[in-house]
Each structure stands twice: as C-alpha cells, then as structure tokens.
Amino acid sequence: MSYYIKEFKDRYRYLSNFYSSPFQINNTNYKTVEHWFQSQKTTNSREQITIQNAKTPALAKSLGRKSQLRTDWEQIKLFVMKEGVRAKFSQNPRLKQLLIETGSQKLEEGNRWHDDFWGIDLKTNKGLNHLGKILMQLRTEFQEKIDSIPFLIELWRKINLGDNKNWVLFRNGTCVIFTKKGDQLVESALTLIKGWGPVNVGTSSADFSVITLEHQPGWIITCHHPDILTYVSPEEIPFDEINDTNGNIMIGLIGRQKRDLDGRVPVIVHVEDNRID
C-alpha cells in the first residue's frame, strides 16, 4: 500500500469537496462541502441562498468567486473549510468509515489547477495542502473518537442554566442563553451570536470579565451581552506564559477569541429546549 494518497480522484474521489455528500449545518442543507464553503464567502443572504441552491459544486464555486467577499474571509476560511469537511464525514457514516480506513496515509490534494494553498500543485509538487491537513486532523479525531461536544453539553447543564432555561451551544464553547420563553431558538441564537459575537477592538465588543467555576474545571468569559457566555478549559491555557498579574487577562482573551470565531462562523452543536408544549 502506498503511504500517500496524492489525488482525490477515482477510488478516493470521496475526499474531494465536489463529492456529493448531503449534510446540514444550522438547519440548512448543503449538497457538497463546496456549496457550504463558497456560500460562506459572503454575508449577503441572497447570494448565500443562490450558492446553496446551485445545481453543481462547479457552479457554486463560480458563484462564490463572484460574490461580495466578506472582509474577514482570510481570517476565517480555514475554520469554514474544517467545519464543512467535519459535517460531511460525521453526517455520512459510509464516508467517515472510508476516511478512517485510509489509516495513517498522508492525504494530499494533488491538482493541476495550480492551487498550492488547499492542495499540492502537481506541476511544481509544492503546496501548503491545507485541505489534506484538515482531512488528516479529522481522521485522527474519528479514529480516536475525540469529541469535546458531549463534555461541553454536560458542563453547561452542570453550570446550571436551570431546568426552565433554553440555550444554544456553538462549536467553540459559546452559549446563548434564553431567559424568557420564545419561539425559534436556532434562528434567535444565530441572530444574537452574529450581532454580538464578533470582536472589534476598541469597542464594547472587546470587553470581558472572567468567572472561575467553583465545581467544574475552567472559566466562563462574559461579554457585552449578558446572555452570551463562553467556556474556556484548563487545557486551552498556556500556563507557562501566565502569572498572577496577567492570568485573568490571558484567559479572557482566549475566551474572547473563541466567541469572536463563533460569531463570525456560527456552527450550532446543541440546542437545549426545555419548553413545554
């Protein structure tokens, strides 16, 4: 067996972002990773819907290139790609098993269209291979059954948000809490996190405070909205770089960064709905 998979074609075509693999993110359906990735290039809802509904991934790519590019795209595009690839494989068990069965082989998106960011340009044999790296990272997670989401869900329940409260948890540990009864938890949470999550230094969105948890490991980071909180675990803290003076500041900055990412690329991982019909 070769130790490399150098192109995502033939028997390995399922590794391509163009491969048909329906999945959902935030209750929205996507036909391929390419549809998801290209639709996230813009914050224009009409353009997003047009790209999502494109008949082919090639058309989605073409439309994405013509869309109004969001100003923070370079900052978030790696995370956007990873979330799309994660959803593709985690929601399609057959594809997930095929990825796991590649074992420890190095995955390279060798291509002839000179993409040396996501893959390897076969003409020069050079490239950063970010798509291949994402696939290998997720393969390791699947092989070792690494999943922090169940822990986060139980932690938020223990923190205790109360039996009568509803909340929505995002990928990076940010929780939107609903203290009043209302409909459309997902839509409301997305609106709140998009509006209050992104951080702009020099504004109130950059403010935070740090709360040390008493009965659980870690910290809760508040922001300028009282119902948006972010969890930071001890594993995320570079303890060799902090001291009594800068400790809370560094912990808060890590939490703020996580909230910022959840605000810019919101991916819901759990909805706690305690409403009584």
pLDDT digit string (tens) for the chain, length 277 residues: 568 899 999 999 999 999 999 999 999 999 999 999 999 999 999 999 999 999 999 999 999 999 999 999 999 999 999 999 999 999 999 999 999 999 999 999 999 999 999 999 999 999 999 999 999 999 999 999 888 899 999 999 888 666 668 899 999 999 999 877 666 899 999 999 999 999 998 999 999 999 999 888 899 999 999 999 999 999 898 877 666 667 789 999 999 999 999 999 999 999 998 865 5
Q: Which residues of 159-195 are buried (b: 16+ CB within 10 A; e: fewer)?
A: bebeeeebbbbbbbbbbbbbeeeeeebeeebbebbee
Q: Are residue 8 and residue 138 in the same domain, yes or no?
A: yes
Q: Are residue 159 and residue 118 in the same domain, yes or no?
A: no
Number of domains in the chain: 2
Look-up of token digits 């391929």: 32
Tell me the C-alpha distance between 180 and 41, whole Å: 34
Q: Are residue 196 and residue 230 in the same domain, yes or no?
A: yes
Please say which residue of 124, 143, 162 terminates a domain.
143
Contact predicate 176/165, CB 8 Å = no
Structural domain for 55, as ranges: 4-143
The CATH number given to whatever domain includes residue 34 is: 1.10.357.40
Q: Are residue 12 and residue 130 in the same domain, yes or no?
A: yes
According to the model, what pLDDT value does residue 205 have? 94
Q: Are residue 56 and residue 32 in the same domain, yes or no?
A: yes
Return the structure tokens found at 164: 């009568």
CA distances from residue 187 to 1, 145, 181 in whole angstroms, order as listed: 48, 30, 14
Strand 23-25 and strand 28-30: the pairing is antiparallel
Is residue 110 situated within a structural domain? yes
Please say which residue of 143, 171, 201 terminates a domain.
143
Q: Are residue 21 and residue 100 in the same domain, yes or no?
A: yes
Look-up of token digits 């938020």: 156
Q: Are residue 153 and residue 137 in the same domain, yes or no?
A: no
Tell me the C-alpha distance between 67 and 62, whole Å: 9
Give the predicted TM-score (pTM) of the model.
Answer: 0.89
* Most distant CA pair in the chain, distance: 61
Please say which residue of 143, 173, 199 terminates a domain.
143
Q: Are residue 110 and residue 125 in the same domain, yes or no?
A: yes
